[in-house]
Amino acid sequence: MKIKYYFLTFLCVLCAALAQAQADIAVNEDAFLVQKAITVWGDETSSEKLMSAQCQAVRITPDWLLTAAHCVYDFCRNNQNCTVQVDVVSASQDDLAAQVRVRSGAQKKNVFIFPGYNPRQNRSSSFDVALIRLAPQERDWAFFAPRGGKRFSREQFEKQLDVYPESRAQWNAKRPRLLTFDAAVSARLTPAIAVPRVENGGVSWLYNAGGQAYFISELQHFVSTDFGVRQGNSGGGVFTADGQLVGVVSMSFTGKGNRMQFKDADGKAVSTLQNADAYFVFTGFTSAVSAFIRGHVPGVFSVGAVPQAAELTNEKFTRIIKTLDNAQAN
């Protein structure tokens, strides 16, 4: 009986410790309301079978969304005709929802993919980011009640927002601040990071409670200890827990033997992660990515992460990986 008692006591202490670790992270859920679910597909007039991609995006200004390039590449590259549907307001408790469809093509381009993006290589010149301009016609909006299917005009929808605070919060979500990084300097991100997901109106998230995330200049990417980010979060934001935008969820580039190789702009191998599934690798706002965003969205709100949210480090890639390995072991 004593053994059983001690074991149960140990479990209680362990559960309390885990609960305290969770409580120590003050996650600002309201800051994640800029996260939106998107669906992308090709030309609807095509005789081929209609394919689509389900992704996430972040509304960085009232008129612009940021997402992953691989979410739109197959459908929108080379000025192909494509459509992006955005759940601007997705209802859960509320009975209001708003969707908008954005069309892009050679005549009117509203989807912009990072120049030189290559989905088959981890090249530093091919960052996995894209921009979507919200420039729809009035007819491209849909305002409705998901449960009953009732349709509203925009005027009717906006009048009801005072009655539905959750929908109002999604509709009026404040734009996030982008944390930018000097591409020539490695740095450790000091706050914990969180990856939210919006689905059926609900916001959930994963976070790295250990706060172990580095921008590695040799890779031109962020590397963090793995904390469960998987398929379905592509194109969404990587935030600090209080809501500042650090980067964009990219895709997994693992190859044979669970290795992830990175290449420079000329295709030359820079470095390789040997146990890729032990890490979360994502695109941050380097000088190149920031210049791409500002070239289309001059009003985007950004600030240098150093020294506000990161500390510089002279450590090289291999040394940083050892640090992350030790963090996971502990």
Q: Give the pLDDT confidence of 189-208 residue by residue, as tens digits.
A: 999 999 998 877 778 889 88
In Å, what is the CA distance from 135 to each residue of 63, 67, 86? 7, 16, 12
Question: What string of DSSP letters covers 226-258?
Answer: -----TT-TT-EEEETTS-EEEE-------GGG
* pLDDT tens digits along 101-122: 999 999 999 999 999 888 877 6
What's the average model confidence in pLDDT over 237-253? 89
- Neighbouring-strand partners of residue 64: 61, 133
Give residue 264's region: left, alpha or beta (phi > 0; psi -120 to 50). beta
- Neighbouring-strand partners of residue 279: 225
Q: What is the Cα–Cα distance from 28 to 241, expressed in whole angstroms?
A: 6
pLDDT at 96 over 70: yes
* pLDDT tens digits along 16-64: 333 334 445 677 888 999 999 999 999 765 544 567 889 999 999 999 9
The reported pTM is 0.88
The one-letter amino acid code at 282 reads F
The one-letter amino acid code at 169 reads A
Question: Considering the chain, what percentage of its residues have pLDDT values greater than 90?
Answer: 49
Give the residue ranges of DSSP H helices in 62-164: 69-76, 154-160
Lowest mean pLDDT, pick from 44-48, 241-245, 255-259: 44-48
Nearby residues of 225 by Cβ (< 8 Å), 6 or more positions away? 208, 210, 212, 213, 278, 279, 280, 324, 327, 328
pLDDT score for 146: 81
* pLDDT tens digits along 70-92: 999 999 999 999 999 999 998 76
In Å, what is the CA distance from 48 to each residue of 43, 51, 191? 9, 9, 47
**In angstroms, what is the C-alpha Rg of the chain?**
21
The secondary structure element, H or E, covering residue 170 is helix 165-171
Report yes or no: 291 and 128 within 8 Å, Cβ to Cβ.
Answer: no
Residue among 7, 34, 25 at smallest CA distance from 237: 34
Task: Classify residue 116 as exposed, middle or buried by CB count within 10 Å of its CB (0-12, 13-18, 19+).
Answer: exposed
